[in-house]
Amino acid sequence: KAGVTQTPRYLIKTRGQQVTLSCSPISGHRSVSWYQQTPGQGLQFLFEYFSETQRNKGNFPGRFSGRQFSNSRSEMNVSTLELGDSALYLCASSRLAEQFFGPGTRLTVL
Amino acid sequence: QKEVEQDPGPLSVPEGAIVSLNCTYSNSAFQYFMWYRQYSRKGPELLMYTYSSGNKEDGRFTAQVDKSSKYISLFIRDSQPSDSATYLCAMSRSIGSGGGADGLTFGKGTHLIIQP
């Protein structure tokens, strides 16, 4: 069974721009979660989607948003990028409690 | 006080040793506990998942949860150089209907080095 896939793998943007990241979950998984990983803060929960609805949200500003499509694929968007948004963005899918992560998208904001 | 505390290491041990990795937590509502392994520039890989107190074994890995002490451990037997990675503990309070935890809370990770 194919794992979680994320595109693109690497992105370079400048301050003020916006970015959209994509995640395809494991087949049959309906829950998709997004996390931000930085050296200083570690892995932090952004939000979780289930059946096209945001079910849980972490403590991030409204510049971070997401959505989920009927095929469970998900996208996250970051608007008005800041230098501090440089991070590895990870998507995880789950059917039960275990969450399986993709390889991540490494975003660099210049 | 952070919700989940984990010693960042690095922890360096010789090949073949038993490794003990630990996390403490402050929120008694956590019910689900996981250990992930993360290699450099890769996504975290799920190693072990446990619910409530007790031990769970899978091959060379044993996960232990002591909810009364708010303490979880991961033991690695017969450690190999390929086990060198960052190990992250994670936990959550509940599972949503249809699956998916309510957002995992992670420790900062312990960097483990197995010396050949």
B80-99 pLDDT, tens digit per residue, is 999 999 999 999 887 765 55
Strands (E), chain A: 5-7, 10-13, 19-24, 31-38, 42-50, 53-57, 64-68, 74-78, 87-94, 100-101, 105-109
Q: What is the mean pLDDT of chain A?
A: 95
Exposure string for B64-87, b = 16+ CB within 10 A, e = fewer: bbeeeebebbbbbeebeeebbbbb
CB contact under 8 Å between A94 and B45, yes or no, is no
Q: Place B51 in a pLDDT band, splitting at 50, 70 and 90.
A: confident
What is the pLDDT, as a whole number, of residue B68? 93
* Residues 6 or more apart in contact with residue A15 via CB below 8 angstroms: A81, A82, A83, A109, A110
Q: What is the pLDDT of residues A23-45, one digit of tens each?
A: 999 999 999 999 999 999 999 99
Inform me whether the C-beta atom of residue A51 falls under 8 Å from chain B C-beta atoms: yes
Could you read off the pLDDT of B15-27 as tens digits, one per residue?
A: 999 999 999 999 9
Query: In angstroms, rounded to a whole number, what is the distance separating the alpha carbons of residues B22 and B35?
Result: 10
Query: Per residue in A40-66, pLDDT tens?
Result: 999 999 999 999 999 989 999 999 999
Task: Assign B38 to helix, strand or coil.
Answer: strand
Predicted local confidence at residue A66, as pLDDT: 97
Residues in CB range of A5: below 8 A, 6 or more apart: A23, A24, A102, A103
pLDDT at position A87 is 97
Residue B1 in this model has a pLDDT that exceeds 90: no
Contact check, Cβ <8 Å, A103/B98? no
Residue B54 CB burial class (10 angstroms; 0-12, 13-18, ≥19): exposed
Q: Do A4 and B43 touch (CB under 8 A)?
A: yes
Contact: A90, B44; criterion CB under 8 Å: yes
pLDDT for res A104: 97
Q: Chain B residue closest to A96 (CA)? A: B99
Q: Do B109 and A42 touch (CB under 8 A)?
A: yes
Q: What integer pLDDT is reported at residue A27 of this predicted model?
A: 94
Query: What pLDDT is stored for residue B94 in this prediction?
Result: 79
pLDDT at res. B96: 67
Q: Which residues of A touch B96 (CB under 8 A)?
A: 31, 48, 50, 55-56
Report chain B residues whose CB lies below 8 A from the CB of A29: 99
Distance CA B84, CA A71 (A): 37
Average pLDDT over residues B93-113: 81
Q: Which residue of A has its CA nearest to B6?
A: A42
Pairing type for strands A5-7 and B54-58 reads unpaired
- The residue type at B8: P
User: Is B96 in contact with A96 (Cβ distance < 8 A)?
Assistant: no
Alpha-carbon distance B110 to nearest alpha carbon in chain A (angstroms): 11
Question: Would you give the DSSP letter of residue A15?
Answer: T
Query: What is the C-alpha to C-alpha distance for residues B78 and A81, in angstroms, rounded to an integer?
Result: 46
Please list, in sequence order, all residues whose beta carbon lies within 8 angstroms of the beta carbon of residue B40, skipping any fewer than 6 positions away: B85
Model pLDDT, residue B101: 62
Residue in chain A lying closest to B43 (CA): A103
Of A48, A97, A101, the CB nearest to B43: A101
State the Cα angle at B98 between A57 and A55, rounded to 5°: 15
Listed residue (A28, A17, A33) closest to A74, CA to CA: A33
